[in-house]
Structure 1
C-alpha cells in the first residue's frame, strides 16, 4: 500500500514504567466482576480451611490412632476427610471455572478497547508505527494478558489466602519451626525481587522485538511477489534471520533470568524441610517441648502448602513479567489520542461542493510539504492537480478530508472550515478513489456498498454498470455474491480498480477525489470508463490527480504543483500556450 508522508520505521522505545500502575489498571477491568470474584474468594477460604483442618487431623491420626492401633476410629476419620476433600475439589473446579470466564471476558474487553481506539487514531500514528507491531499488540500482547489472568491470577488470588491460612496454622502449631520457614521465605523473596528488576526490562525488549519481527513478516508476505521478481529472496531471508536472532536473544535472556528463581526457591525449601525435620527429631529425642511425630508431619505438610503458592508464583515470574510488559504496550496503544471532532464542530448533512484553499501550508514533520496553496473550486467544476512525484498533490487532498492537521491556512467546504465539520459528515461528503485499490474479504456486493451502506442491491448494480464493472462481475461464478480473497487476489488490478470506482459512484458524494484512479487500468479499460466518469463529474466538484495528462484536457482548471507550491494555474489550452512547466510535462509524454 502506498503511503503519503514519512514512514519512521523503528523498534518501539523500551522504557520501564510503574508496574503497580499497570496492575491497578488491569484491576479496573476486573471491577465489574466483583461478585464473581467474591464467590471465588469464599470458595478459596473454604478450600484453605479444609486443607488446614485436614492436615492437622492427619497429624492427630498419627499420634492418637495409628500409634495406638485404633483401627475403627481411623476408618471413620479417613471417610470424613475423604468427603471433605471431595467437596473441596468440587469447589476448586468451580473456582477455576469462574476465574477462566473472568479472564476471557476481561481480555475480550481489553482487545475491544484496543481495536476501537485503533480505528480512531489519526493517520500520523500509522505513518510512524509498523503495522506488524500494532497487530502484535492487538493479538500477542492481549493473549499474554489473558494467559496471565487465567494462570497467574489464580495463583495470586488463591495463594494469598492459602499463605495467610497456613502461616497462622503453623504459628499456632509451632512458633519455633515457623521461624525457620519465614527465614527461607524471606531469602527467596529478596532473591526473586532482585531478579525481577532485571527480567522486567528483558521482557519489554522481548515484546518490542517481537513487534518488529511481526512487522517484517507482514511486509514480506504483502510484498512476496515483488521479492521474487527482484530476486530479493536471499536478502529478505537475511534480514528476517537478523531480526529473528535479536528476538531469540532477547527471549533467551528474559527466560534464562526468570528460570533462575525456581531452582533457588526449591533449594531453600529443601533446606527448610531438612532443618524442620532435624530440629523436630532432636526435640522429640531430647524431650524438649511438646513436639510429636504427628506435629512434625503436619508442619511439613503445612510448609508444603505454605511455600507451594509462593513457588507457583515465582515459577510463573516470567509469565508475570511478560504480561506486565504486554499490558504496558497495550495500554500505551489505548492511551494514544484518537481523532476527535472540534468542540465547536458542526453537522453538515448536505453540501453544494464549493471547495477553497486559503494560504494552506503543511508539513508532516520537516521540511514543509505545502506552501501557501490557494485554489477555489466551484460546484460541478473539475480541478486537476499535476506535477512530479512527491510534489504534494495527494497531500493537498488529504487536507481536504482532514486526515492531517493544517500548519497554516484554511480549507473550506461550502464556506465551512473542514476542521470544524464533524468528520463523519465530512468524509461522507467527500469520496476518494485511491491509486491502489483496497477491497475487503467480503462479497463484491458488500465491497461496493461500503460507499453507501444503506444502498439497495439495485443501486449496487447501477453503480457497477456506471463503472463498466457489471459485465466482468456477472462472469464470476457467484456474480455479485463472489467472496473476494485477501485484497481480491483472484481479480486483475484493473478489475479491482473498477470495483473501487463503483464504490465511489454509489456514494453519491458532492465532492470526488480521483487520486490517479486510472493509473492501474489499461488503455482500453480506461476508455470504457472515461465517459461514465465524465458524466459523473458533471454533477460533482471533482479533483483529479493524474500523471496521464491526456485525461485532464477538459478540466475547468489545472494546478501545477512542484516542491509544494502552485507554480502554474489555468486551463489545458492556456497552460500549453504559456509554454511553461506544464507544457514540458505534457509534451514529454508524447516524445
Structure 2
C-alpha cells in the first residue's frame, strides 16, 4: 500500500526531471567539496608538528583551499535547495489542481454524501502535509545518501579496516529506523483521518452558529469537539512518540560507531599506522557519515505523515467521474421549453424508492408549480431536470430530444435557477450579478438589478456596484442576497426557469414587486416553481401535487380547490390559524 502510494507520488515529479538532475548534480558537488574539509584539516594538523616545526606556507595555502571549498559547497547547497523546493511546490500545485478539478467532475452524489469539511481538509491540509514531507525528503535524502557514499570512499582512502568496522555497525541504525517507521505510519494515517473529521465538524459548527446558539447547543458542541480532539490528541501523541524514538535511537548507534572509530584509530596511531591528522580526519568523517542517518530518520517521520495524507488525497483523485457526454451529444443553445417526462424512476438509495413511473408533459411557456409535503420529491425532480443526478429508468426530453443526448453544460445552461439557499462569492456585487454572463456591461447589470428591485439598496452601499462582498455575502442581509441571485438570473435570460422558494427571505412588499418581475420574465418561458406558500402559485398554468414521489393531483388553482382533495387541504391549512 505504502509503496504504491510512494510510486504514484513520485510519478508527479517526472515533468520536472531537469530540476531533479540539477539537484542531484548540485548535491554531489556540494557533498564532495564539503567532504574535502576533514582531509584539509587533517593535513593542516600534520603541518603543525610542534614548536618551531610549523610549515606556515602549506598551512596558509591549505586554509585558502578550505575556505574556497566551504564557499563552493554553500553555493551548490543553495542551488540544490532551490531545485528541490521548485520540484516540491510544482508537484504539490499539480496534485492540488488535479484534486480540485476532480471535485468539479465527480457526480453531485459524492459531494452530498461526504462531509464538506473533510473534503476541504484533503485538498488543503493533507496536500500541505505532502509538501512538508517532500521538501524535507528531497533535500535530506539527496545530501544524506551522497554524504554516506562519499564518506565511505574518503574513509577507505585513509584506512580500510576501520572503514569496514563503521560499515558493519551501520545496519543496526537502519533496522531501528525501519522498525519505528513501520509503527508510526499507522498512527499518522489515523491522525490525518481524524484531522479531516475535526475540520468537518468545525466547519459545520461555524457555518451554523446561529442554529447552535438558538438551540443552546454550545455545551454539547463543545463536548463533541473535545471527544474528536481527544482522539486526535491520542493518535498525535502516539505518532510523535514513535517518531521521536527514531532520532535518539539512531544517535545511540552512531555514538557506538564514533567510539569504535576513536578506539581503533588511537590503537592504529600508537602502532604508527595513522598520523594524528588522519585520526582527526577519520573522526570527522565518522561524524559526517552518521549524521545523515539522524537526518534521514527525521525525514522518515515527515514522509510517513506525507504518505498517509497522499493516500487520502488520491482517494479523491480516484473517485469515479460523472459519465462523459456521448461524442455525438447536441450542444443545445436554446429551446422552446417543451418538456416530456416519461416513466421516470429514481432513488438516491437503491433500497429506498422515491420517484416511480413519473410522467409529465409541459408545453412551451407553461408555468408549472410543484407542491407537496416535505420529502415528496419536489427538489429531486429539479435535480433530475438539471441532471445533477441521472435517472434510473425512463426518459426526459427537451424539445423531443432525450437529455442524455444533450451535453450537460448546454442542458443546464437552458435553465435559470434561483434557490432558497443563496450563493454569492467573495467579489464585487457587479461580478456576482454577472456570474452567469461575465461579458455583460455595467448597463446590463444595472438593468437586471432594477428588474430584481436590488438597485436601490445597491446604490446605498459605500461603493455601489463595486462594493466587495465578504465570504458568502455575509455583509448584507439574507433578503438582499436573494435579490442579487434573482438579478443574476434576470441578466442571464435563460430559456427556462426554476424557482425553488425564490422569495422565501424577502419581505412581503418587495415580494410583490419580485412576483411582477418574475411574471414578466416568465412570459414565453417554461417555468418550474417549487413553493410551500401556496398563495404564491395561484396564477400557475398547472399545479402538480406530489406525494411519495408521485403526482396525486394536477390542475390549476381553481380546479384543484373544487376537487376538495389534498391540495385544497394544504391550501386551506394556511388559514386555519385564523379560525
Q: Deviations over 1:366-399 (max 9, x none)?
A: 3122111111111100111110011110011101
Q: Deviations over 1:197-252 (max 9, x none)?
A: 11111111111111111111111111112212221111111111111111111111
The aligned runs of 1:130-209 (5 Å cut-off) are: 130-209=115-194
Query: Displacement of 1:256 after TM fit?
Result: 0.8
Residue 397 of structure 2: aligned partner: 412
State how far apart, in whole Å, the 1-side matches of 2:270 and 2:146 are.
35
Picking from 351, 354, 358, the partner of 2:342 is: 358
State how far apart, in whole Å, the 2-side matches of 1:320 and 1:269 are.
22
State how far apart, in whole Å, the 2-side matches of 1:54 and 1:496 are.
69
TM normalised by structure 1 equals 0.93
State how far apart, in whole Å, the 2-side matches of 1:531 and 1:64 are.
100
Q: Deviations over 1:323-349 (max 9, x none)?
A: 111122122212222335322422112
State how far apart, in whole Å, the 2-side matches of 1:248 and 1:92 are.
37
Residue 489 of structure 1: aligned partner: 474
State how far apart, in whole Å, the 1-side matches of 2:42 and 2:338 are.
90
RMSD of Structure 2 on Structure 1 (CA):
1.7
Is 1:319 equivalent to 2:270 in the alignment?
Answer: no
TM normalised by structure 2 equals 0.95
Picking from 293, 296, 311, the partner of 1:328 is: 311
The aligned runs of 1:332-351 (5 Å cut-off) are: 332-344=315-327, 345-351=329-335
Residue 448 of structure 1: aligned partner: 433
Asked if structure 2 preserves the Cα contact closer than 8 Å seen for 1:177 and 1:276, the reply is yes
Residue 42 of structure 1: aligned partner: 25
Asked if structure 2 preserves the Cα contact closer than 8 Å seen for 1:36 and 1:98, the reply is yes
Q: Deviations over 1:553-589 (max 9, x none)?
A: 1212111111111111222222211121111111111
Query: Displacement of 1:419 after TM fit?
Result: 2.6
Which shifted more, 62-71 or 160-169? 62-71
Stretches of structure 2 lacking an aligned partner (at least 5 in a row): none
Asked if structure 2 preserves the Cα contact closer than 8 Å seen for 1:196 and 1:258, the reply is yes
Asked if structure 2 preserves the Cα contact closer than 8 Å seen for 1:476 and 1:482, the reply is yes
Query: Displacement of 1:19 after TM fit?
Result: 2.2
Partner SS, residue 559 of structure 1: strand
State how far apart, in whole Å, the 1-side matches of 2:29 and 2:505 are.
70
Asked if structure 2 preserves the Cα contact closer than 8 Å seen for 1:341 and 1:420, the reply is no
Asked if structure 1 preserves the Cα contact closer than 8 Å seen for 2:545 and 2:554, the reply is yes
The aligned runs of 1:158-307 (5 Å cut-off) are: 158-286=143-271, 290-307=273-290
State how far apart, in whole Å, the 1-side matches of 2:31 and 2:458 are.
67
Query: Displacement of 1:437 after TM fit?
Result: 0.9
Partner SS, residue 438 of structure 1: coil
Query: Displacement of 1:540 after TM fit?
Result: 0.9
Query: Displacement of 1:541 after TM fit?
Result: 0.5
Residue 51 of structure 1: aligned partner: 34
Asked if structure 1 preserves the Cα contact closer than 8 Å seen for 2:261 and 2:286, the reply is no
State how far apart, in whole Å, the 1-side matches of 2:97 and 2:515 are.
43
Asked if structure 2 preserves the Cα contact closer than 8 Å seen for 1:401 and 1:418, the reply is no
Query: Displacement of 1:285 after TM fit?
Result: 2.8
The aligned runs of 1:21-40 (5 Å cut-off) are: 21-40=4-23
Which shifted more, 392-401 or 183-192? 183-192
Asked if structure 2 preserves the Cα contact closer than 8 Å seen for 1:120 and 1:339, the reply is yes
Query: Displacement of 1:320 after TM fit?
Result: 0.9
Partner SS, residue 13 of structure 2: helix
Query: Displacement of 1:542 after TM fit?
Result: 0.3
Picking from 452, 458, 474, the partner of 1:473 is: 458
Asked if structure 1 preserves the Cα contact closer than 8 Å seen for 2:117 and 2:201, the reply is yes
Which shifted more, 235-244 or 259-268? 235-244
Partner SS, residue 12 of structure 2: helix
Picking from 550, 569, 572, the partner of 2:554 is: 569
The aligned runs of 1:402-551 (5 Å cut-off) are: 402-551=387-536
Query: Displacement of 1:539 after TM fit?
Result: 2.2
Asked if structure 2 preserves the Cα contact closer than 8 Å seen for 1:347 and 1:422, the reply is yes
Asked if structure 1 preserves the Cα contact closer than 8 Å seen for 2:429 and 2:466, the reply is yes
State how far apart, in whole Å, the 1-side matches of 2:363 and 2:166 are.
85
Partner SS, residue 450 of structure 1: helix
Give the number of equivalent residue pairs: 572
Asked if structure 2 preserves the Cα contact closer than 8 Å seen for 1:341 and 1:421, the reply is no
Query: Displacement of 1:176 after TM fit?
Result: 2.2
Asked if structure 1 preserves the Cα contact closer than 8 Å seen for 2:47 and 2:58, the reply is no
Query: Displacement of 1:64 after TM fit?
Result: 5.0
State how far apart, in whole Å, the 2-side matches of 1:477 and 1:315 are.
54
Query: Displacement of 1:63 after TM fit?
Result: 3.6
Q: Deviations over 1:245-293 (max 9, x none)?
A: 1111111111111110111101111111111211222233355xx3333
Residue 98 of structure 2: aligned partner: 113
Which shifted more, 265-274 or 487-496? 487-496
Q: Deviations over 1:132-173 (max 9, x none)?
A: 111111211121122222222111122222222222222343
State how far apart, in whole Å, the 1-side matches of 2:343 and 2:222 are.
48
State how far apart, in whole Å, the 2-side matches of 1:463 and 1:456 are.
11
State how far apart, in whole Å, the 2-side matches of 1:231 and 1:184 are.
63
Picking from 97, 102, 105, the partner of 2:82 is: 97
Is 1:86 equivalent to 2:66 in the alignment?
Answer: no
Query: Displacement of 1:105 after TM fit?
Result: 2.2
State how far apart, in whole Å, the 2-side matches of 1:392 and 1:459 are.
36
Q: Deviations over 1:422-464 (max 9, x none)?
A: 1211111112111111111111111111122222222211111
